[in-house]
């Protein structure tokens, strides 16, 4: 039996020996073809190639070379040692870079064909005699890796035995090089295609997010315009009413004083006047009309406050960064959502839902520079979501419990800089742990179809983190409630 299938075939061997060698070489070729068909990466392919060829041909040591970024040199990228071979590779003993035409790799690169160097220690073309002597290497072999268009790498092998190459094996190595070259070309195309697909997917995702943000922004803009329009339409007549209440009170006081003078100077009026006075109950009118004017003034004051809150929420009269009071933005949002906080009865089920209590723990926040309209959008979405959690049919109200939303604001320090933290907490159903990592994903929603598009929190995240350089995160425990925290640099 032959010791090595890489011994030279020159026609002098017995036929059965030749058949054994050819059979082994065919087996190596089949294994390499299978490897290249199944390998996922170039690293796996190169490692597998070394293993198959070194074990199949009894070669002891292999190296993989590829052109540098400049294309002027070949650089060693990987080496492989036959298991059980007791040698130590000293990087100082081995040149890891060759120019075209230098050494075994460089000559293979220059001639673009398989080459064989014998007697490495005494071969002046080898250039690494110390390396060969330290590893007891006798002969070297190598072949180019080509994709039929250009050379993409070189593989070299070394043996400690007296082995030479025949023409048939040289042709086989040429085929191996072409197979590896086509594999690299295919993988490169796959990587480019995968990269293109990833970029396309990323672009599509960004497009969807942009579209979602545009839709949401348009909705909020429309809401802001509607709110601002209503505020404007209410503001004009209410200012007219409120402005006339003060002179009306003065006129009332003048008429009251005049009536008092008549009563003092004419204590016994005509019986018709006396009867009319009794019918009108003048004393009641004097007391009640004053109260009526005062209640109207209180009402118009309240309407003016509401109009101011609506204008603060819409912020249509402000563009760009503005210094604003965040507490005012929160209060304006709560005012708009006031109707959702009240107790009410579900018409379909007949179940009564209790009122939601708002607890404000406001700290001493200084005005902050921000995009006020966008921050108000964030407040609207977070508080709306908290209300949804407390109005969820999954929330059990069998036991005594009060529905509560707590809003905490405080000054904090982050990276030695002043920041502001706003926390909105609810004691609702909480968020299952299995979906918590998806909460900020665009179009992800746990609400029934038609009740949510999954845009709010994703856009909130972009507004806080990208637009304002802040942080937006949450904590939640199923059955106990959720906390949404936004932090902004002061």
The domain ranges of the chain are 15-165, 202-317, 320-490
Q: How far apart are CA 131 and CA 137, in angstroms?
A: 8
What is the mean pLDDT of each successive set of 10 residues along the chain, which is 490 residues long?
43 66 84 87 86 84 88 86 63 70 90 88 86 84 84 88 78 86 86 88 80 66 68 77 84 85 83 82 82 82 72 56 87 85 74 86 90 85 88 65 89 89 91 81 61 67 87 88 91
Residues 6+ apart with CB under 8 A from 459: 212, 213, 216, 217, 377, 381
Evaluate whether 421 touches 487 at the Cβ level (below 8 Å).
yes
Which of these, 243, 217, 249, 209, lies nearest to 378 by C-alpha position? 217
Radius of gyration of the chain measured on its C-alpha atoms: 43
Q: What is the pLDDT of residue 435?
A: 83
Residue 196: how many CA atoms within 13 Å on its side-chain side?
6
Q: What is the pLDDT of residue 92?
A: 43
Fold of 320-490: Heat Shock Protein 90 (3.30.565)
Q: What is the pLDDT of residue 90?
A: 52
Q: What is the pLDDT of residue 146?
A: 85
Question: For the packed helices 326-336 and 282-314, what is the interaxial angle rounded to 10 degrees?
Answer: 120
Neighbours of 268 (CB within 10 A): 7
Q: What is the pLDDT of residue 227?
A: 67
Q: How far apart are CA 198 and CA 413, in angstroms?
A: 39
Same fold flag, 15-165 and 320-490:
no
Q: What is the pLDDT of residue 94?
A: 58
Q: What is the pLDDT of residue 4?
A: 43
15-165 has CATH 3.30.56.10 classification: no
Beta bridge partners of 344: 353
Pairing, β 356-361 against β 403-414: parallel
């Amino acid at each position: 039996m032959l010791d090595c299938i890489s011994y030279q075939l020159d026609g002098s061997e017995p036929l059965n020996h030749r058949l054994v060698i050819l059979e082994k070489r065919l087996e190596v070729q089949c294994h390499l073809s299978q490897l290249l068909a199944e390998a996922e990466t170039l690293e796996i392919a190169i490692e597998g190639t070394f293993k198959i060829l070194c074990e199949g041909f009894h070669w002891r040591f292999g190296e993989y070379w590829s052109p540098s970024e400049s294309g002027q040199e070949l650089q060693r990228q990987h080496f492989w040692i036959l298991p059980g071979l007791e040698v130590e590779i000293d990087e100082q003993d081995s040149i890891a870079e060759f120019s075209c035409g230098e050494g075994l790799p460089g000559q293979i690169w220059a001639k673009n064909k398989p080459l064989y160097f014998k007697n490495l220690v005494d071969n002046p073309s080898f250039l690494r005699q110390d390396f060969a002597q330290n590893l007891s290497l006798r002969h070297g072999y190598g072949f180019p890796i080509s994709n039929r268009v250009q050379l993409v790498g070189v593989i070299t092998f070394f043996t400690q035995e007296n082995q030479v190459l025949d023409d048939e094996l040289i042709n086989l190595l040429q085929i191996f090089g072409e197979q590896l070259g086509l594999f690299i070309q295919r993988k490169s195309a796959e990587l480019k295609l995968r990269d293109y697909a990833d970029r396309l997917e990323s672009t599509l995702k960004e497009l969807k997010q942009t579209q979602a943000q545009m839709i949401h922004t348009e909705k909020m803009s429309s809401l802001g315009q509607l709110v601002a329009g209503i505020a404007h339409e209410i503001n004009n007549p209410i200012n007219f009413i409120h402005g006339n209440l003060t002179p009306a009170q003065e006129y009332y006081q003048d008429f009251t004083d005049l009536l008092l003078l008549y009563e003092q100077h004419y204590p016994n009026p005509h019986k018709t006047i006396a009867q009319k006075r009794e019918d009108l109950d003048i004393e009641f009118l004097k007391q009640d009309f004053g109260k009526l004017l005062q209640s109207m003034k209180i009402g118009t004051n309240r309407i003016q406050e509401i109009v101011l809150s609506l204008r603060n929420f819409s912020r249509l009269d402000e563009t760009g960064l503005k210094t604003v009071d965040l507490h005012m933005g929160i209060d304006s949002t709560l005012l708009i959502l006031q109707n959702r906080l009240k107790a009410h009865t579900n018409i379909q089920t007949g179940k009564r839902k209790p009122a939601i209590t708002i607890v404000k723990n406001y700290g001493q926040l200084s005005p902050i520079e921000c995009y006020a309209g966008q921050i108000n959008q964030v407040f609207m979405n977070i508080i709306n979501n908290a209300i949804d959690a407390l109005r969820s049919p999954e929330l059990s109200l069998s036991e005594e419990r009060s529905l509560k939303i707590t809003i905490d604001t405080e000054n904090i320090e982050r990276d030695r800089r002043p920041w502001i933290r706003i926390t909105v907490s609810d004691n609702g159903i909480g968020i299952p742990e299995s979906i918590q990592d998806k909460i900020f994903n665009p179009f992800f929603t746990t609400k029934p179809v038609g009740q949510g598009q999954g845009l709010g929190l994703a856009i909130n995240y972009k507004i806080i983190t990208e637009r304002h350089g802040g942080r937006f995160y949450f904590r939640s425990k199923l059955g106990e409630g959720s906390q949404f925290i936004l932090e902004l640099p002061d």
